[in-house]
């Protein structure tokens, strides 16, 4: 297979995923986000590896983008409610401290447990759906009565069982680097950012509509 043909495989898979995207699942996730925002709750997000870095992008977008004018010249007035967003992966000091003290499997759960409430939304991202640090924190969120959203792939793993709403990236891949145990992983990671952008845009629309009511 030539380089161009291999690139074509990736793009063809991407188009198929977009065609099969579970719109209704993301619609429900957006509704949970709106409920959390309306109630003054906090969004907590967690992931591992490169996906933890993507959550920094989430943090920037969710914290600021829905709350600026359309021409991006100024923020909305201070009386417009902002969204509280916590990236559980943001502090290397906190994470390494928790790993050192209680172990990697419990680091997110320990960070989340003292603060999560039923007003909140906990967002979990795990390609396998079985990362212990993610599933343990999801269980903490469920026990606290919080809203829960997970994004995964394959069969969804434990995340699919725990989360109130679970978005499973459809399909499988033949592209180098995302076959076997990593099946569809690049597409999963690409789609994380798309999900972020859709949710942020929908929240921006919600904020704007509330201001004109």
Supply the pLDDT for residue 164: 98
Averaged pLDDT for residues 133-159:
97
pLDDT value at residue 72: 85
The full set of domains in the chain, from first to last, is 3-69+80-212 (3.40.50.10490)
pLDDT of residue 31: 98
Q: Which residues contact 197 (CB under 8 A, 6 or more apart)?
A: 61
Spatial distance between the Cα atoms of 96 and 78, rounded to a whole number of angstroms: 36
Question: What distance in Å separates the CA atoms of residue 171 and residue 184, rounded to the nearest whole number?
Answer: 7
> What pLDDT, on a 0 to 100 scale, did the predictor assign at position 213?
57
Q: Are 159 and 130 in contact (CB under 8 A)?
A: yes
- 82 Cβ contact partners less than 8 Å away, ≥ 6 residues apart: 63, 67
What pLDDT is recorded for position 28? 98
Residue 209: burial class (beta carbons within 10 Å; 0-12, 13-18, 19+) = exposed
- In angstroms, rounded to a whole number, what is the distance separating the alpha carbons of residues 9 and 194? 20
pLDDT exceeds 90 at position 212: no
Average pLDDT for the chain: 95
pLDDT over 80 at 127, yes or no: yes
Is pTM beyond 0.85? Reply is: yes
Mean pLDDT of 92-108: 96
Calculate mean pLDDT across residues 75-103: 95
pLDDT tens digits along 171-197: 899 999 999 888 999 999 999 999 999
pLDDT band at 110 (very low <50, low <70, confident <90, very high): very high
């Amino acid at each position: 297979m030539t380089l161009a043909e291999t690139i074509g495989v990736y793009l063809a898979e991407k188009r198929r995923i977009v065609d099969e995207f579970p719109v209704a699942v993301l619609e429900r996730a957006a509704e949970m986000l709106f409920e959390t925002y309306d109630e003054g709750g906090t969004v907590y997000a967690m992931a591992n590896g490169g996906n933890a870095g993507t959550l920094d992008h989430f943090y920037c977008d969710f914290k600021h983008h829905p709350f600026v004018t359309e021409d991006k010249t100024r923020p909305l007035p201070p009386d417009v409610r902002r969204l509280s967003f916590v990236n559980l992966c943001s502090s290397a000091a906190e994470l390494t401290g928790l790993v050192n003290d209680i172990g990697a499997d419990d680091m997110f759960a320990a960070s989340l447990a003292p603060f999560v409430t039923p007003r909140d939304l906990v967002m979990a991202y795990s390609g396998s759906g079985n990362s212990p640090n993610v599933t343990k924190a999801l269980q903490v969120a469920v026990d606290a009565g919080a809203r829960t959203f997970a994004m995964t792939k394959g069969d969804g793993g434990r995340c699919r069982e725990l989360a109130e709403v679970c978005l499973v990236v459809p399909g499988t891949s033949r592209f180098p680097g995302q076959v076997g145990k990593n099946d569809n992983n690049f597409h999963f990671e690409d789609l994380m950012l798309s999900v972020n952008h859709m949710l942020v845009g929908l929240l921006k629309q919600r904020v704007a509509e509330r201001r004109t009511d």
